[in-house]
Structure 1
Amino acid sequence: MFFVRTASLKDAEALRTLLSDAFHATYDAFYGEQKVRELVDAWHSIPALKARIEKKGGEFLVADDGRRLGGMAYAAMSSKLAKTAFLHQLYVHPSCLRMGIGRDLFAELESCFPDAEIMRLEVEPRNAAAIAFYEAHGFAEVDRTTSCGGPDSGLPAIVMEKRLG
């Protein structure tokens, strides 16, 4: 059984492994193994993970069964959009899919931002499983971008939102 808790700096190595495994399982078919490795190295380095774990105004959660991390989620209040929490990441290890981990992580995140009226996220347009998950949790498409994950990334994404409260 996995329990949702706040991530700590001690989780950084396990998080990098989880995210690498999840990214390759999810995105290799879309971008190729080399591009995914570059994204993991750029976005999920140990220093980058530690910075997100320590970021004020953010919530970094893990699903932990005492032996391993089965999933993770990270959200923070938007610096550009008023009363909007941005879900930056929600990933479940490929060996732990369909166990309710994503649902549990998301349920906890929804309660972490009492001042937020909206939660927003970006999702790869070909990631049908993620889109279906977010739609099942009340999100709807509101826009599209070609800069998923950062300015000038060149990666397409569907922008989805959900009203909170």
Structure 2
Amino acid sequence: MFFVRTASLKDADALRALLSETFHATYDPLYGEAKVRELVDAWHSIPALKTRIEKKGGEFLVADDGRQLGGMAYAAMSTKMAKTAFLHQLYVRPSCQRMGIGRDLFAELETCFPDAEIMRLEVEPRNTAAVAFYQEHGFVEVDRTTSCGGPDSGLPAIVMEKRLG
């Protein structure tokens, strides 16, 4: 059984391993192994993870069974959009998918931002499982971008939102 808890700096190595495994399983077929390795190294380095874990106004959660992390989620209040929490990451280890971990992580995140009226995210259009997950949890498409994850990334994304409260 996995329990959702706040991530700590001690989780950084396990988080990097989880994100590397999950990113390769999800995105290698879409972008190729070399591009995914580049993204993992840029977005999921130990310093980058530690910065997010310690960020004020952010919430970094893990699903932990005492032996391994089965999933993670990270969201923070937007610095550009009023009353908007941005879901930056929600990933579940491939061997742990379909166990309710994503649902549990998301349910906890929804309660972490009492001032937010909207939760927003970006999702790769060809990641149909993720798109379906977010639609099942009340998100709707509001835009599209070619800069998923950062300016000039060249990565396409569907921008989705959900009203909170």
Which category describes the TM-score, using the shorter chain as reference length? over 0.9
Specify every segment of 5 or more residues in structure 1 that has no aligned partner in the other structure, as ranges.
Answer: none
Aligned counterpart, 1:85: 85
SS in 1 for 2:10: helix
Q: In structure 2, what is the equivalent of residue 76 of structure 1?
A: 76
| TM-score using structure 2 length | 1.00
**Map of 1:65 onto structure 2:** 65
Per-residue deviation at 1:79? 0.2
Task: Indicate the SS of the match to 1:113.
Answer: coil
> Mind listing any 5+ residue stretches in structure 2 that lack a counterpart?
none
1:12 maps to: 12
Give the letter for the 2:144 counterpart. R
Query: Which amino acid is the alignment partner of residue 147 of structure 2?
Result: S
**Partner residue, 1:117:** 117
> Where does residue 41 of structure 2 map in the other structure?
41
SS of the residue corresponding to residue 82 of structure 1 reads coil
Q: Per-residue CA shift, 1:11-30, capped at 9, x if unaligned?
A: 00000000000000000010
Give SS of 1:66's match: coil
Within the alignment, does 1:148 sit opposite 2:143 as a pair? no
Shift of 1:130: 0.2
1:20 and 1:107 map into 2 onto residues whose CA distance is: 24
The letter for the 1-side match of 2:64 is: D
Looking at structure 1, the residues matched to 153 and 132 of structure 2 have their Cα atoms a distance apart, in angstroms, of 24
How much is the aligned-residue C-alpha RMSD, in angstroms?
0.2
1:126-165 pair list within 5 angstroms: 126-165=126-165
Q: How far 1:125 sits from its partner (Å)?
A: 0.4
1:73 deviates by: 0.0
The offset of 1:50, in angstroms, is 0.2
Q: After the TM superposition, which segments of 4 or more aligned residues of structure 1 sit over 4 Å from their partners?
A: none
In 2, distance between residues paired with 1:28 and 1:158?
Answer: 19
Distance in structure 1 (CA, Å) of the matches to 2:159 and 2:75: 15
- 1:67 Cα deviation (Å)? 0.4
Percent identical across equivalent pairs? 88
Q: State the partner residue of 2:52.
A: 52
**CA shift for structure 1 position 158:** 0.2
CA distance, structure 2, for counterparts of residue 97 and residue 109 of structure 1: 18
Task: Tell me the number of residue pairs that the alignment of Structure 1 and Structure 2 aligns.
Answer: 165
Q: Give me the whole-angstrom Cα distance separating, in 2, the residues matched to 1:30 and 1:5.
A: 31
Measure how far apart 1:127 and its partner are. Answer: 0.4
Alpha-carbon distance between aligned partners in 2 of 1:78 and 1:32, rounded to the nearest angstrom: 31
